[in-house]
Structure 1
C-alpha cells in the first residue's frame, strides 16, 4: 500500500491510488517475466527486457493524472458518458509519450522505446498498422498540451517521487511532459522511417517481441485491477508416472491392439530427450492412444526442463474442435484424480469461447469477474484449448487475444489433429512456430494420424517409428466408389444394409445430411437412428455422441462434427467425397477397436446442380484426392501412410502459398490492421465463414426455460458491468441451447431482449426434434 502521508491524491480507479496501481502492475509484470525462460529473445539482454517492462508498467496510466480524467473518474453516471467521449479524458497517448521518452533515455536499444510507446498507447485497445500508430496530428498535440496544463504540479511531484523510488529513472514534471509532447512529432518521424525498413528485414522477431511485451503489460494491468495478484505456480510434481499409474489401474484387456498401444506408449516415453530439439512428432494410426501418450511425453519433458533449465513450462493442449475438448480434458482430469490430485482450475483449465466462467484454486473460488481474467490469461499448468485460441494469440491485432501471448514462453504446445490447419496457412504457421521455438523456447508437438507437410520430415523429431505401426494395421479397408456422381435418392436405394452391423454416414452439408436422414428413415423404419449437425443444439449433440460412444445405436447420419478425435466406433462408414485427410479421419471412426474388418466406402454425392463436396471444400484438395483414390479398388489400412504422404506432397506442389505470404508480409511490417487493399494481420481467419450467421436460443426443455428466464432477468439490469458479470455466470449453460443459422433464411425467429429466440410454445415451427433447426428458403451448408 502507498503511504497516505505521501500520496499524490491521483486515482487510477475509484478508491485506488494511481501510484499504487502503477507500482503493482510493474511488480506483477516483472513476476510474470521471471516465470519465463531466462534466454528468450537471445538478441536482447535480459536486463533490458526487465527495464522496458518496468518502464512501460510504471508509465502506462500516468495520463490519468490529468484533471480531465480525475473529473471523469468521480463524476456521476449521467455525466460520465459525456466526459468519456472527450479526447482530453483519454489517458493512453499521454502515458505512451512518457513511456517512450523515459525508455529512450534509459535504453540504448532503438526499437524498444517505440514498443513501450505502442504497448502503453493501446493497452485498452486493439493494434492498427504501426505506421499509423506512430503518427500524431497537430490536433493530437493540442490535446496533449491541454492535458499537461491541467495536471496539478504539487500532486505530480509526489507521484513522480513515488515512481522514481519504484525504479523509474526520470523525474516527471509538467515542463518535462510539455517538452516531450512538443518534440514528439519529430521523434515519431524518425521512428516511422525505421518502421518502413522492417519489411526489407523479413524478420518476425519485432512482431513477437512487441506482442510479448504488450501481453505482459495488459495481463498485469487487468490482473491488478481484479485479483490484485498472480496465481502461484505448482512445482514440478507432475511427471509421466501419473499416466503410468492411471493406465495400470485401467486393467486394459490383453489383446493385439492394446499391445500395440502399449508399445507405442513405451517407445515415446523411453525416447531420449534432447532439450534443444523443439519440433516433435507423434504420428500414429487413429485409436492408438495418442492423447495419453502425448500427455505422458509432455509431463516427462516438463520435468526434464525444470531439472535442466530451471523453469516450469506450461502444457498447452490444443484441439481443432469444441466437440473433443471436453473429451480430452475429461481424460486428463481422470489421470490427475487417479493420482490423488485435487483438480482445480489452477492445475487444469479448459478455455474456449463458450467456457464456463469458473476458477478455483485450492479452497478459493473466485468471483466471475476475477475468474474471467484468470481463465483468459491462461493461469494454469495444463491448458486444454482450441486451435482458434492458440493461433489468435499468435496472429491477431486484438487486445483480448494477445493478452495471453506471454504464457507461450517456454511452453509445451501440443497440436492434436494438426492436419486440421488449412493448407493455405502451412507456410505462415511454419514460420510462426519456428520463430516461437527459437525466440520463446517453446516446444511444439504434432499429434496426428495424418501429419501434414508444415515442416519437412527431417525438421521434426519423430518419437515413434510410424511405419512400423501403420504396417501393423488391418482394421479397415477403404473402397472408393467414384465412377459416378450420384444423388441422395440413388445412394439411399443402393445401400445394402446387413443385419448385425452398425453404420455411420458422414455427409458434407447440413442440407444433404438432413435429406439423407429422412430417406434412410423411410428404409429402416422404426430402427433407432441418430442425426448430428451444427443445427442440433450442443446439449443434444453431447447426449447423442454419448449414445454413439456406448454403441447404443445402429445408424448415425452426421456432418463432419464427428470426424477428428471423437471416440466412436462403427462397423461400416460411408463418407461423401472430401479431402483425403478428412477421409482418413472418417476411417478412424470405423472398427476402432479391431473386431473383425471394418469398411469405409467413399461416394460422390450431388444435388441437381453440383457436388455437395464442392460447396465446402477447396477444388484442388478434392481433385488431388479423387485422382489418388481412383487408382485403387480397395485400400488396406497399412497403405494409409503412403497414400496420405503422396496426397500432402501433391497438395504442397499445387496449392498456392499466396495467402500465407501476404500475411507474413503483414507480420514483417507489423501491419496489424489494414485500411488499404493489402492484407493486415487482422485478416488471418483460421475458420473461414462461408455465409453470415445468426445465433438463436432454442427453448428445448425445462432447463432451457429456466436459463432463458435468467437471461431476461439479467437484461433488466441497468448497470452494464453488473449485467455482464451476471451473464458470465450463466454463459456456459446458455450456449448449450444456441444454434448458429444462416442470416438470410425466410423463417428468422423473432428477436426477444436482443436475442433471436424460439420459445417452447412454437418449438415445432422452427426446430425438428431429430434434425434440429428448420431452415426455410436457403441451403444450409455447415
Structure 2
C-alpha cells in the first residue's frame, strides 16, 4: 500500500531503526532497538503518521511490538522480561514489574485477547520484506508459549525477589532504548560519543586566578588532591573546609579521567546558576565544549531558531552536553525514577564523572540506597562519582576513597563557635546583634521565614540590611546575593558601611559570601557548620559564630531527629567550651556517626526487591516533596502575566507547529514564569488575592503591586507585619 514505511512524519522507518543501532550494543540493547517500533508497520499507523488524524485508526504500537520482540528473543527469561517492559514503556513511564503478570495485562491469563494481537500477521508479513527483519519469526503459537514461560518465570521468582543489580540492569536497557529513540527522532543521525573535555581551559583559568589573587592554602590543597588521582578507581569523597576552592579542585580532578562528560550536581538552584556561570566563563571561547544547566526552571533561549529548539532542549534535559550542571533532585530521580524523562538522563551517567557537591543535602532516608546504587553504576557503566562537602556524612561503603586529609581542618583558625545564652529573651539577642553590627559585617540565620522577616524589620531602619529566605523568588534572591557581595566588597575597601543579612538556611551550602560575625539559631550540627562557612571565609581576621537557643518556636519540628541527635552532641560541648574551627571535624564526625547508626537504613530495599519501579518513584517523591505547598507566581512587572497568556493563546492556536513541539514550548513558558514562583503553604495562600493564569489550569499568580509581596524580604509570612514603606521596582 505504501512505497516506504515511516516511523515519524517524513522519516523513514528503516533509517530510524538503523540509526539507533550502535556498534557497542549488547544483545538486549540491540533487540529492544530493533523491535520497539515494529508494529508501526501496520496500515493504521502508516495512515495516521501521514495525515495526523487518529480517528478510527488503531495507531498504538508499543504492546504489539513487545510481543513480536518476545517471539524473536533468544535472551534468558529475566532479560526478555526487562526488554518487554522497556518496549511497552518506551513512550511512557514504567510500572511495577509484577504488573506484567497481573490479570488482563501483558502476560496475564487474558493477554491473548489483546486487540493489538489481531495485527500480528499483518505486521510480521510486512516486516519480512525488510532486510533488517529478514529472519523474523511469525508463529503465533510459539509466541503464546514464550509468553507463558515468562509468566511462570516471574511468578516463580516473586517469592525469592530481585536485587539492586537487577534494578540497575532494567534501567540500563530501558534508558538505552529511550535515549537512542529520542536522539534519532530529533537529530536524524546515529549518536556519536563525545570527546573528553579538554583540561587546558581550566588550567589557564586557575593560573589566571592565582596570578590575580594567589592563595597558598588553596594551591597546596589542589596539589594534594591531584596527587591522589587514580584512574583505576571510581568512587571518591572530597572533604575539606569551606573556602578551599573545592569546586575548581574537583573539576581539575574529574577532567583527568578523560570521560565523555561531566555532571556537576548541587542541592539548590541559586548555587547552580553561580557554578554554571563559572564553568561558562572557563569554556566561553571554546567551540567544542558545550556547558549546559538543567533544573526545573531552566528555559531554552527564546531567540533559539525553531529548527534548533528541540535539539537544544534535548541536550539540556538529558545531560547530553560536555559539562552539565544540575540539581541533586534531578540526579536522585535519574537514579531512582520510573519516568521516561528521568531515565533519558540515567543513560548519560555512562562513562561520565559525577560530582555531587554538598552531599550532606542528600536526605538521610535514601542515603544508604543511593550509595549502594552508585556503587553498582560505577562498576557497570565506568562512571566516576566524587562526593564533596565540608560536612561529609558517614559513607557506609569501603569502596569510597577519601582524596583530601583531615589536616586541612586541623590547620584552620578562621572562626570560633560560641554559645550565646539569651535566657529565652529575644530582645537580648537583638541587643547583641546591634552591638556587633556597628562596625562588622553580620550574618544572622534563623529557622523560619516568619522570624527572618520579623528580624529584618527590626533592623532595616538602623542598618544596611538585607534578607534572604524561601518566600523570595529566584530573581530577587540572585539580585540580593549580588548586592550583598558588592556591599561587603565595598566595606572591606573602606568605601561603605558594614551590612547585616537576616537569612534562613538559604545562605547555607555554596553561597560565596564572607562575613565577620555570625549568629545561628540552634539547628543540626551540619547546618551550623555550613553557616560557619560564611564567617571569615577568606582567611582574614578571626570571626565568631554565636549559636543561640530556639526563638522561632518550631526548630524541633523543622529538623526532627537530626536536631535531636545534634543537640545532644552540640549543647553538651558548646555550653562548656568554645569550639575552634580546627576542632569542628571531630564534632561533625560524631554527629554523622550517630545519624548513620540511628537513622540511615535501606529505606527502599523491599520495593527494589520487588522491582516496584512506580512505587519506588512515589516513595522518593514523598521523601523530597512538601505536599503542603503550592507554587504561586509573583508577577514581576505590570502586564507580565497578560503577555504570557497572550503568548500561550497564540501558541495553542498556531496550527503550523506540531503537537510535540507545542508541548515543549509550553513547558518552556511555564519554566520561564516559574523563576518568579514561590512554594507557599496552604495556610498562607488564604491571605492572598490570587488569580488563575488563563490557559494554565491550577497555576495561580499574585498581581504586580500587591502589598503582600515586598522586594526587600519577599512574600509576607504574617499579614500583620508592620512595614512602614512598601518597596516595588
TM exceeding 0.5: yes
Which secondary structure state, in structure 1, belongs to the residue aligned with residue 395 of structure 2?
Answer: coil
Q: What does residue 674 of structure 2 align with?
A: 735
The reply on whether 1:157 has 2:132 as its aligned counterpart is: no
Counterparts of 1:527-538 in structure 2 under 5 Å?
527-538=463-474
Tell me, what secondary structure is at the counterpart of 2:99?
helix
Counterparts of 1:331 and 1:746 in 2: how far apart (Å)? 41
Q: Which residue is equivalent to 1:147? A: 118
Equivalent residues of 1:563, 1:585 under 8 A apart: yes
Could you say if the C-alpha distance between residues 653 and 236 of structure 1 is closer, same or farther in structure 2, counting changes exceeding 3 Å?
closer
Q: How does 1:171-182 map to 2 (within 5 A)?
A: 171-173=136-138, 176=139, 178-180=140-142, 182=144
Residue of structure 2 in register with 1:746 after alignment: 686
Contact map agreement 1:97 1:184 (CA 8 A) in 2: no
Aligned to 2:414: 475
Shift of 1:551: 3.4
Paired with 1:414 and 1:212, the residues of 2 have a C-alpha distance of 21
- Matched with 1:418 is 359
Q: Return the alpha-carbon distance in structure 2 between the equivalents of residues 686 and 506 of structure 1.
A: 27
The question of whether the paired residues in 2 share the 8 Å contact of 1:693 and 1:743 is answered with yes
Change (3 A) 1:539 1:706: farther
The structure-2 alpha-carbon separation of the partners of 1:490 and 1:90, relative to structure 1 and needing over 3 Å to count, comes to: farther
Is residue 717–residue 723 contact of structure 1 (8 Å, CA) maintained in 2?
no
Matches of 1:517 and 1:637 in 2, distance apart? Answer: 28
Q: Quick check: 1:383 aligned with 2:324?
A: yes
Answer yes or no: is 1:491 the counterpart of 2:422: no
Q: For the structure 1 residues 704 and 263, does the alpha-carbon distance in structure 2 shift closer, same or farther, using more than 3 Å as the test?
A: farther
Alignment match of 2:524 (pick from 579, 584, 599): 579
Give the SS at the match of 2:675: helix
Question: How many angstroms apart in 2 are the aligned matches of 1:60 and 1:634?
Answer: 65
2:151 to 171, 185, 189: 189
Aligned pair 1:280/2:236, yes or no? yes
Paired residues for 1:425-504 under 5 Å: 425-455=366-396, 459-465=399-405, 467-481=406-420, 484=423, 486=424, 488-489=426-427, 491-495=429-433, 496-504=435-443
SS at match of 1:516: helix
Counterpart residue number, 1:541: 477
Specify whether residues 681 and 724 from structure 1 end up closer, same or farther in structure 2 by C-alpha distance, changes over 3 A only: closer
Shift of 1:510: 1.4
RMSD, aligned α-carbons: 3.0
Give the Cα separation in 2 of the matches to 1:706 and 1:274: 56
Distance 1:161 1:514, change over 3 A: same
Q: 1:83 to 1:140 in 2, by over 3 A?
A: farther
Q: Does 1:226 align with 2:186?
A: yes
**Are positions 1:170 and 2:139 aligned together?**
no
Residues 464 and 666 from structure 1, CA distance in 2 versus in 1: closer, same or farther, beyond 3 angstroms? same
CA distance in structure 1 between the aligned counterparts of 2:607 and 2:369, rounded to whole angstroms: 11
Deviation at 1:718, TM superposition (A): 6.3
1:414-449 deviations in Å (ceiling 9; x for gaps):
111111112222211221112122222221112111
Question: Greater CA deviation, 92-101 or 720-729?
Answer: 720-729
Cα distance in 2 for residues equivalent to 1:379 and 1:336: 16
Alignment match of 2:204 (pick from 242, 245, 262): 245
CA contact (8 A) 1:286 1:588 kept: yes
State the alpha-carbon separation in 2 of the partners of residues 548 and 326 from structure 1.
17
**Pick aligned residue for 2:272 from 319, 322, 325:** 325
Deviations 1:477-516 (A, max 9, x none): 11123685x3645532453334220111112121221122
Q: Is the counterpart of residue 64 in structure 1 residue 40 in structure 2?
A: yes
Q: Which residue matches 1:20?
A: 15
Residues 197 and 261 in structure 2, CA contact (< 8 A), matched pair in contact too: no
In structure 2, the CA distance between the partners of 1:195 and 1:482, relative to structure 1 (3 Å rule), is: farther
TM-score of the superposed pair, with normalisation by structure 2: 0.88
Question: Distance in 1 between the 2:639 and 2:419 partners?
Answer: 45
Q: Where does residue 195 of structure 2 map in the other structure?
A: 235
Question: More deviation in 572-581 or 619-628?
Answer: 619-628
CA contact (8 A) 1:317 1:413 kept: yes
Aligned residue in 2 for 1:298: 254
Residue in structure 1 matched with residue 551 of structure 2 by the alignment: 606
> Does the alignment pair 1:510 with 2:449?
yes
- Name 1:593's counterpart in structure 2: 538
How many pairs are equivalent?
Answer: 697
Displacement after TM superposition at 1:564 (Å)? 0.3
Alpha-carbon distance change, 218 to 237 in structure 1, aligned in 2, over 3 angstroms: closer
1:43 paired residue number = none
Deviation at 1:264, TM superposition (A): 0.4
Residue 215 of structure 1: CA displacement? 0.6
Name 2:263's counterpart in structure 1: 316
Any unmatched runs of 5+ in structure 1?
1-5, 35-48, 303-311, 675-679
The alignment status of 1:209 with 2:154, answered yes or no, reads: no
Measure the CA separation in 2 of the matches of 1:265 and 1:375: 30
Query: Is the CA contact (8 Å cut-off) linking 2:442 and 2:516 kept in structure 1?
Result: yes
Native 8 Å contact 2:264 2:357 kept in 1: yes
With over 3 angstroms needed to count, the CA separation of the structure-2 counterparts of 1:537 and 1:234, relative to structure 1, is same
Partner residue, 2:503: 558
Q: Deviations over 1:567-612 (max 9, x none)?
A: 01111111111111111110011111122111111112234xxx32
Partner Cα distance (1:530, 1:706) in 2: 31
Q: For the Cα contact (< 8 Å) 1:746–1:777, is it kept in 2? A: no
How far did residue 269 of structure 1 move?
2.0
Equivalent position SS for 2:129: helix
Asked if 1 retains the 8 angstrom alpha-carbon contact of 2:565 and 2:591, the reply is no
